[in-house]
């Protein structure tokens, strides 16, 4: 890592992405944004994957997080899908973290949506290419304010849901994860040195489906947080 204190920047560096903390004027600074694929049994089945397999990790840029009430339509897709997820926010990190100690790293939890250009992701899967254009686009990670563990504890088996224009699309329970939060943190720390400010989107229950310009999305994890946003109308090409 370059010692930035002894260097001058070519141009001012971008601001650190931040997420509001519920009941506080402070922002949670985002370091990295990790995601777990197919971590609910029913969703894995609907995507044609085996019921129990090692967790699939991918990443989005830190500045993919978005807290705006209205999101621009991303374009370059005919198949934009919603995936509601419990999000874990870390206040500490480490390598090779034992699952028994993993929850001690957690600052809090939020609800988020892994927006996915499914057509681009499917094309990438077929060709063996990275998922970046399908998963890592601007504002592809809408997120609620973070609820601190100190205020509400750790959700163990919370109801999770998402509706589009008032119609329920996804319903499940976080207790139905194939890999629970401590296991996800422990396994992820085998591949990356986790840091304070990391966000982990922990996977989505069954029912993922399409969105259209103008749709309103409402989602929640009971006892943790709720999130609402609308997609702008306009050209979807």
Q: Map tokens 């609800």 to a residue.
A: 111
pLDDT digits (tens, 9 = 90+) for 78-134: 999 999 999 999 999 999 999 999 999 999 999 999 999 999 999 999 999 999 999
pLDDT given for residue 235 in this prediction? 53
Of residues 27 and 2, more confidence is placed in 27
pLDDT digits (tens, 9 = 90+) for 180-200: 999 999 999 999 999 999 999
pLDDT given for residue 38 in this prediction? 87
pLDDT(48) > 90: no
pLDDT given for residue 170 in this prediction? 98
Cβ proximity of 186 and 88 under 8 Å: no
pLDDT(237) > 50: no
Categorize the per-residue pLDDT at 7 as very low, low, confident or very high, splitting at 50, 70 and 90: confident
pLDDT given for residue 121 in this prediction? 97
Question: Which tokens in the block code for residue 156?
Answer: 């163990």
Q: Give the HSE-up count for residue 1: Cα atoms under 13 Å, Cβ half-sphere.
A: 3
Q: Give the mean pLDDT of the chain.
A: 93
Average pLDDT of span 59-88: 97
């Amino acid at each position: 890592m370059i010692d930035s204190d002894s260097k001058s920047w070519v141009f001012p560096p971008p601001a650190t992405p931040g997420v509001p903390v519920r009941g506080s004027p402070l922002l949670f600074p985002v370091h990295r944004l990790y995601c777990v694929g197919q971590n609910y049994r029913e969703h894995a089945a609907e995507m044609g994957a085996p019921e129990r397999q090692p967790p699939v990790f991918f990443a989005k840029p830190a500045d993919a997080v978005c807290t705006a009430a209205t999101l621009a339509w991303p374009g370059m897709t005919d198949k934009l899908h919603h995936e509601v997820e419990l999000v874990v926010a870390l206040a500490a990190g480490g390598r090779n973290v034992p699952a028994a100690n993993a929850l001690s790293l957690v600052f809090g939890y939020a609800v988020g949506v892994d927006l996915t250009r499914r057509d681009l992701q499917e094309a990438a899967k077929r060709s063996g290419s990275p998922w970046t254009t399908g998963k890592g686009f601007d504002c592809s990670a809408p997120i609620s304010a973070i609820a601190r563990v100190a205020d509400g504890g750790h959700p163990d088996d919370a109801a999770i849901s998402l509706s589009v224009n008032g119609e329920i699309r996804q319903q499940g329970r976080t207790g139905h994860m194939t890999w629970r939060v401590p296991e996800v943190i422990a396994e992820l720390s085998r591949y990356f040195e986790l840091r304070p400010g990391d966000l982990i989107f922990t996977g989505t229950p069954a029912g993922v489906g399409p969105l259209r310009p103008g749709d309103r999305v409402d989602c929640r994890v009971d006892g943790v947080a709720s999130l609402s946003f609308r997609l702008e109308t306009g050209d979807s090409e």
